[in-house]
Structures are given as C-alpha cells and as structure tokens.
C-alpha cells in the first residue's frame, strides 16, 4: 500500500476550522512490523469521526484530517510529551500501549531518537498546517474558532469510572474558549437527548490547550464522543448510519453555533 499524505486539508472561508487528528489508521510498514497483533489493529482509533463530519463539505468550513494512526505519534499531545492529566492514566506522545493497557510493541518500544524523528516527520507538519490555517482565517475575519473532533469507547475502566457521557465538551476549564460560547453549544445540542458534560474527564488535549486563546482571537473546543452514539462498541470498525443520524444532527447544531461565534 502506498503511503497516503500525512493529512487531508479542505480550505474554507468561514472562521471555523475543524481538526480531526485521530481518525487515521495508516501504519508505515517498518513500524507495523514492530507491533503486536493488537497494535496493528489500531484499537484506539477515533473510528469514522471524519465520516460523521462529512456534512462540512456543504459548508464553508476548513477541515484538517490526519491519515496516520495515533500509534505513530499522537497529534493531540505536546511535542515534549508532557502529561495532560497528571495523576491519571493516559497514553503518551508515541503510545506503547492501548487505553486498556494492552501493549503495542512486540520488541523494544520507541526510544528518544525514534520519538524525535516521529515528531519532526509526522507531528510537526500537521501542526504547521493547523497554525497556517488559523493565521489565514484570522487574517480574513480577525478571529477564528477551532473544533477538535474525537471519539472513544464509552467504558474504559483504566481511564475513567463507569460510563462516559455521550458528548464530552472541553474548553480547558474556560481557558481555551469563553463560558458563553460553551453554554450556547451545549444548549444547541440539548434537544437531541444526549448525556453531555463540559470539562469533565476530558477538558481538551494539546490542540485545544495550545491553540485556544480567546484574548488572542482564537477559541477552541474539544468534543469527545462516546462510540455508542454511532456504532456498536464491540465492532467499532463498522459504521451504523441509522444510529449515527441523530448524532450528526447534533454535530450540525454545534457547527451552526460555532459559525455564529
């Protein structure tokens, strides 16, 4: 299989940029050869999130979607590998195990030199593109908005107790986006019947925390969705259009509010 480009980018003219950093499944052959069978299955993919946002093609929205698996490098972690949630279980910049604690590498995990290479080769181009688009949108509008789209299995005891709410909005405790904007988004999605929370277990990863700066004209919100909202969690590779329909309507409501921001 020929390696895909590191990401796809569709430029729009509105002030909204949607980032989807974890929907990719591609593994470079040399890396795949080092992984266990569990690793090659890329279990912590944000399955089909790019498909859920297909409706953005109808709108004037900039969309950036990574193609490579987060096992290569996690685009939603800082390049130095600093922890997002100190004291809680999480995977790192170049994950060596799954969210459930299953190891990825059959032999030696990536060393410091390997991590440095992956940051330069895979991480940096995505973030260079993201920053360039924000600069472009701010030049057009004076400000910009980032929606960072994610999904996850709704029950991972190693990461959180019980079941995760359906929709998990994160604004880094109001530092990445204004409370007023977050309140408007949650009000817009409330009629669709999903259980939702703001700044719960997931407050926003590196993308939300790094790029969100309302004082500088950029608001950023992460949306982490439970898989059960749109697929059978025991078979996440399979997409369920009938189950996804209500979620897509809710996502449209989110995007409408962000376009009004």
Give the model's pLDDT for residue 89. Answer: 79
Give the model's pLDDT for residue 107. Answer: 85
CATH for 7-260 is 3.40.630.40
Tens-place pLDDT, residues 128-173: 999 999 999 999 999 999 999 999 999 999 999 999 999 999 999 9
Give the model's pLDDT for residue 90. Answer: 84
Average pLDDT, the chain: 96
Residue 48: CA count within 13 A, CB half-sphere: 22
Average the pLDDT over 11-32 and give the result: 98
Tens-place pLDDT, residues 26-79: 999 999 999 999 999 999 999 999 999 999 999 999 999 999 999 999 999 999
Q: Is the pLDDT confidence value at 182 over 80? A: yes
Give the model's pLDDT for residue 83. Answer: 87
Give the model's pLDDT for residue 106. Answer: 97
Q: Is the pLDDT confidence value at 1 over 80? A: no
Name the band, by pLDDT with cuts 50, 70 and 90, for residue 203: very high
Give the model's pLDDT for residue 87. Answer: 80
Average the pLDDT over 187-196 and give the result: 98
Tens-place pLDDT, residues 211-236: 999 999 999 999 999 999 999 999 99
Name the nearest CA neighbour of 79 among 210, 260, 175, 237: 210
| Range in 88-92, 126-130, 146-150, 243-247 with the lowest mean pLDDT | 88-92
Average the pLDDT over 88-109 and give the result: 93
Say how far residue 224 (Cα) sits from the centre of its chain.
7
Give the model's pLDDT for residue 224. Answer: 98
Q: How far apart are CA 11 and CA 151, in angstroms?
A: 23
Tens-place pLDDT, residues 110-124: 999 999 999 999 999
């Amino acid at each position: 299989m020929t390696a895909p480009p590191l990401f796809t980018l569709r430029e729009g003219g509105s002030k909204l940029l949607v980032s989807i950093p974890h929907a990719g499944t591609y593994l470079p052959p040399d890396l795949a050869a080092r992984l266990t069978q569990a690793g090659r299955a890329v279990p912590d993919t944000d399955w089909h999130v790019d498909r859920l946002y297909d409706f953005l093609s109808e709108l004037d929205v900039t969309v950036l979607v990574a193609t490579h698996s987060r096992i290569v490098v996690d685009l939603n972690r800082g390049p130095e590998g600093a922890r997002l949630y100190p004291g809680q279980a999480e995977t790192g910049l170049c994950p060596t195990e799954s969210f459930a604690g299953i190891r990825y590498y059959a032999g030696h995990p990536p060393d410091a030199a390997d991590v440095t290479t992956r940051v330069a080769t895979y991480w940096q181009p995505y973030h260079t593109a993201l920053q360039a688009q924000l600069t472009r949108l701010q030049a057009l509008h004076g400000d910009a908005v980032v929606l960072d789209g994610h999904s996850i299995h709704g029950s991972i005891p190693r990461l959180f107790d019980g079941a995760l709410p359906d929709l998990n909005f994160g604004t880094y405790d109001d530092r990445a986006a204004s409370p007023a904007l977050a309140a408007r988004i949650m009000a817009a999605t409330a009629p669709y019947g999903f259980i939702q929370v703001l700044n719960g277990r997931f407050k926003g990863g590196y993308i939300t925390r790094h790029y969100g700066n309302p004082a500088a004209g950029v608001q950023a919100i992460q949306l982490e969705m439970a898989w059960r909202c749109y697929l059978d969690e025991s078979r996440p590779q399979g997409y369920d259009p009938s189950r996804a329909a209500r979620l897509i309507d809710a996502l449209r409501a989110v995007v409408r509010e962000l376009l009004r921001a």
